[in-house]
Amino acid sequence: MDKLFEGKQMVVDELLRRAEIGDVSPWFTENGGFAHVFATALHHVTDQLAEKYGDDPSK
């Protein structure tokens, strides 16, 4: 998945938004399903935030 949409976070974001309202792209099925793609995207975002701000949420 990362290689297919590397540097194209806005495309994946739009696919996630559309899937949430029922317009599910076949791309999700090909890449492990909506839950897998969503979890992977969330993981990437939290990693980026932790890298930028640290992993202590109290700060």
The contacts of residue 41 (CB under 8 Å, 6+ apart) are: 12, 13, 16
In a domain, 25, yes or no: yes
In a domain, 2, yes or no: no
In a domain, 41, yes or no: yes
Which of residues 1 and 11 earns the better pLDDT score? 11
pLDDT above 70 for 1? no
Q: What is the pLDDT of residues 2-49, one digit of tens each?
A: 555 556 667 878 888 888 898 988 988 888 988 898 898 889 888 988
Full domain range(s) for residue 31: 9-53
Give me the number of domains the chain comprises.
Answer: 1
Give this prediction's pTM: 0.62
Q: What is the pLDDT of residues 36-53, one digit of tens each?
A: 988 988 898 889 889 999
In a domain, 59, yes or no: no
The contacts of residue 13 (CB under 8 Å, 6+ apart) are: 41
In a domain, 27, yes or no: yes
Which of residues 55 and 25 earns the better pLDDT score? 25
